[in-house]
A = this chain, B = another copy of it.
Amino acid sequence: MNAVGVIVEYNPFHNGHAFHIEEARKTANADVVIAVMSGNFLQRGEPALVSKWKRTEMALKAGVDIVFELPYVFATQQANTFASGAVSILEAAGCHSLCFGSESGSINSFYKTITFLQAHNELYQQKIKYFIEKGNSYPKATSLAYQTLSPDHDLIDLSKPNNILGYQYIKAANAMHAPLKIFTVTRKNANYHDPHFASDTIASATSIRKALFSKDGHPESVRQYVPDSTYNGLLEYKEQYGLFHDWELYWPYLKFRLIQMNPEQLKNIYEVEEGLEYRILSSVLQSESFQQFMEKLKTKRYTWTRLQRTCVHILTNTTKEEMFMKEDKASYLRLLGMTTTGREYLNKYKTDFSLPLISKASATKHSQLLLDIKASRIYAMAAPKSNQKKLLESEFKQPPIIVAK
């Protein structure tokens, strides 16, 4: 059986994602689609709208065959670390190909860009350094440096978020000599961060979340942009646990934790660098919401998402020591769910996988997994008191989701 891999967050799964999966399956001529998906905290430094279990179920019902969790240690990271964790999982699970959505849509342009930047590497690095010293964030400096190298129209636009991720996927696959054929499909219609609905059926996950958190906030308002499985999944989650997860629900905990800490303790947290601890501690007492806190914290030096990721690490008490001990690659394949077709694939090939397959968190003690479990428990603390226990315990007891298909 031929497997194509996709790297996703599905926050939540929408029609654009369904299109991507179809294209991936067709282009790669694949029998199964394997998704590696961020757990409960995402690359942008946010809690996922609904838990990874619900998001797995939505994905399986809408066309994905197997979902593996991208461990916390990769999921809440900048693009290159995120990419290398995700690619290592797809490779270990025997994928023949990887298909990502991008603004560019041309895989040749990606390869040309990589060759181009390798050829100009010394100058590129100098320019990045120059723009960082000018006070820009790392992603901004990278983008500016790239501009000054005058890439022609055949190269990709590295200021676009999905182009950046795709570029990092290819670099990661090259670095680990992964035997993956890589495709890209043009993303449909909606820009990644677009907060407004832009077409009749395709909308960005950002605009969908925005609609769900607006005053009325019923899933009905996003129904046309998502498959029925997502629509029903959202309704069920809200019914079962009483919330959609949002940073503001974690704000009391973040604030409490920061009030507890002195600058030295805060400095032990991953990504708290360059005196950021003082800025964080002086901002927290004056802020009455997460939004307010972030606005006080924001500087040109750091992107909003970088700061949000730092806040996630404070929330989960993830230290530099813990993160620096981790390896570059995933150390297991955590199975969140599968279709019956996916199960067939796993039964056939799992003995060939280069990483252990984990179906139950309680059965193992990988250090990366302990961090995932902790993150899930922290994630559960946003739920109303009466529903917390269900969410807290699910992480340890939940077997993989199975969907007949």
Contact = CB atoms under 8 A, between A and B. Distances in A.
Given A261-B317, A288-B385, A385-B288, A256 B378 contact: yes
A210 interface: no
Contacts of A388: 288
A151 to B, nearest CB: 45
Nearest to A251: B385
A260 B392 contact: no
Nearest to A316: B260
Contacts of A253: 252-253, 256
Nearest to A315: B260
A374 interface: yes
B256 A374 contact: no
A252 B257 CA distance: 12
Interface string A251-284: 0110111011100010000000000000000000
Contacts of A285: 377, 392-393
A238 interface: no
B378 A260 contact: yes
A253 B255 CA distance: 10
A98 to B, nearest CB: 35
B259 A256 contact: no
Interface in A359-386: 374, 377-378, 381, 385
A389 B259 contact: no
A389 B378 CA distance: 25
A255 B381 contact: yes
Interface centre among A256, A265, A316, A317 (most CB of B within 10 A): A256
A239 B257 CA distance: 27
A134 to B, nearest CB: 37
Interface centre among A259, A261, A265 (most CB of B within 10 A): A259
B288 A374 contact: no
A290 to B, nearest CB: 12
Contacts of A374: 259-260
Nearest to A392: B285
24 contacts: A252-B252, A252-B253, A252-B381, A252-B385, A253-B253, A253-B256, A255-B381, A256-B257, A256-B378, A256-B381, A257-B257, A259-B374, A259-B377, A259-B378, A260-B316, A260-B374, A260-B378, A261-B317, A265-B317, A285-B377, A285-B392, A285-B393, A288-B385, A288-B389
Interface of A: 252-253, 255-257, 259-261, 265, 285, 288, 316-317, 374, 377-378, 381, 385, 388-389, 392-393
Given A253-B256, A255-B381, A288-B385, 17 more contacts: A252-B252, A252-B253, A252-B381, A256-B256, A256-B378, A257-B257, A259-B374, A259-B381, A260-B316, A260-B317, A260-B374, A261-B317, A285-B377, A285-B392, A285-B393, A288-B388, A288-B389
